């Protein structure tokens, strides 16, 4: 580059005896413009070179500065935005969601602020009303303030049927019941793996969402759809049952398919008047259908009530049911139907699932409530059952 820089000096001239002589070289007429052009180009190229070096240096400094200094916004931000923190999210997951929404500048800013705040472990899943471009510390503080959490919670009690759950969800969200019914027609589309709909008893498989809508308290995100809400509940069921190893254990220990065991859990949830009896009622169901019971049938009135609800009729107490309703041959949930019924009859909670997975040992075939706390007496023979029924009558239970 410098070789091309012509400053107008002569090359030293050698004399006759080799001595050097300095002086200005005499230019030819018209050569000055060309020389000035070369000079300008050389200077321009030098400036570009120096500017490039400066840009690289600035970029490198910026990268190094970001490595040692956490990229973070200043202050409490501006505007308003809602951010959903999903169930099971770790601090890093929360940081990702906040960066994506431009609430905080970097994941590192939020994580460092959370680590510096001992209360950050109290940040719960849900939807938060925050500001854009907040400092990490301000974002943590805002998420710990319950005023910024959009509360749209709904508790689904244990043992509710899907029909009842759709009504509860509709009342809360204003989404029509028919939308939930439509979404429920595709259980696998809601996330239920196809292997759940397999049976070992040779009976026809009826694919239903019943049993998979896990009872819990849910935060319903804004702008949810019927499908997204049911997916949320199914995912909760899969998470809980997976942690319990429900499917593996019932196959290994009960020797039945997970779907049949889920049906038993729903029966226990419906029939047990007290959580202490969930496992015992599950044992009775197993004994009646898979044991040596005279008809290998359930003979539980709750199955009749499920059918009545499914066809839009009001449910009844055992005393109110007619002989025709109890033994309707068109009812696929007929209490005298041989074998296990087609589907679960409600959505059981964790304790009912535990009862069906690991029921206490016993040869019971009968039970009856005997006190106002809902406890039942269990019997192996019909004679013992009659004696227990007399005790229940004396206590004014039946």
User: pLDDT digit string (tens) for 42-63?
Assistant: 555 554 554 554 444 444 544 5
Most confident of 32-41, 143-152, 365-374: 365-374
The mean per-residue pLDDT over the stretch 236-259 comes to: 97
The predicted pLDDT at position 87 comes to 79
- Supply the mean pLDDT for the chain: 86
pTM above 0.75, yes or no: no
The predicted pLDDT at position 49 comes to 52
Q: Which residue matches tokens 């059918």?
A: 307
- 3-state helix/strand/coil string of 6-28: CCCECCCEECCCCCEECCECCCC
Confidence of residue 9 (pLDDT cuts 50, 70, 90): very low
For the cut 60, the answer to whether the pLDDT of residue 67 exceeds it is no
The predicted pLDDT at position 23 comes to 38
pLDDT digits 0-9 by tens, 118-172: 999 889 888 898 999 999 999 999 999 988 887 778 999 999 999 999 999 999 9
Total length of the chain: 398
pLDDT digits 0-9 by tens, 287-329: 999 998 989 999 999 999 999 999 999 999 988 999 999 989 8
CA distance 177 to 232: 17
Residue 225's Cα: distance from chain center in Å?
Answer: 15
Judge whether 132 and 77 are in contact, CB under 8 Å: yes
């Amino acid at each position: 580059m410098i070789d091309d820089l012509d400053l107008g000096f002569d090359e030293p001239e050698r004399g006759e005896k080799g001595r050097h002589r300095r002086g200005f070289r005499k230019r030819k007429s018209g050569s000055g413009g060309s020389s000035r052009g070369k000079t300008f180009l050389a200077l321009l190229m030098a400036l570009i070179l120096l500017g490039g070096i400066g840009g690289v240096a600035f970029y490198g400094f910026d990268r190094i500065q970001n490595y040692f200094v956490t990229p973070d916004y200043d202050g409490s931000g501006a505007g308003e935005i809602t951010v959903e923190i999903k169930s099971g999210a770790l601090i890093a997951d929360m940081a990702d969601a906040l960066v994506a929404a431009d609430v905080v500048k970097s994941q590192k800013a939020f994580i460092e602020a959370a680590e510096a705040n001992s209360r950050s472990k109290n940040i719960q899943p849900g939807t938060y009303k925050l500001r854009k471009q907040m400092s990490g510390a301000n974002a943590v503080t805002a998420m710990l303030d319950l005023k910024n959490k959009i509360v749209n919670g709904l508790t689904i009690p244990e043992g509710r049927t899907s029909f009842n759950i759709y009504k509860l969800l509709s009342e809360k969200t204003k989404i029509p019941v028919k939308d939930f019914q439509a979404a429920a027609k595709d259980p696998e589309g809601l996330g239920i793996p196809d292997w759940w709909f397999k049976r070992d008893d040779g009976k026809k498989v009826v694919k239903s969402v019943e049993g998979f809508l896990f009872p819990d308290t849910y935060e319903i995100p804004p702008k949810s759809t019927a499908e997204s809400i049911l997916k949320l509940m199914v995912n909760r069921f899969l998470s809980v049952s997976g942690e319990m190893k429900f499917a593996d254990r019932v196959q290994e220990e009960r020797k039945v398919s997970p779907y049949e065991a889920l049906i038993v859990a729903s029966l226990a949830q419906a029939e047990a008047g007290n959580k202490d009896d969930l496992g015992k009622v599950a044992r009775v169901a197993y004994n009646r259908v898979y044991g040596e019971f005279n008809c290998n049938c359930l003979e539980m009135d709750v199955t009749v009530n499920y059918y009545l609800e499914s066809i839009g009729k009001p449910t009844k107490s055992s005393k109110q049911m007619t002989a025709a309703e109890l033994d309707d041959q068109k009812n696929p949930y007929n209490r005298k139907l041989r074998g296990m019924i087609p589907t679960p009859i409600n959505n059981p909670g964790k304790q009912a699932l535990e009862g069906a997975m690991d029921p206490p040992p016993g040869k019971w075939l009968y039970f009856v409530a005997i006190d106002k706390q809902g406890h039942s007496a269990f019997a192996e023979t019909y004679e013992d059952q009659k004696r227990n029924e007399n005790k229940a009558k004396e206590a004014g239970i039946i």
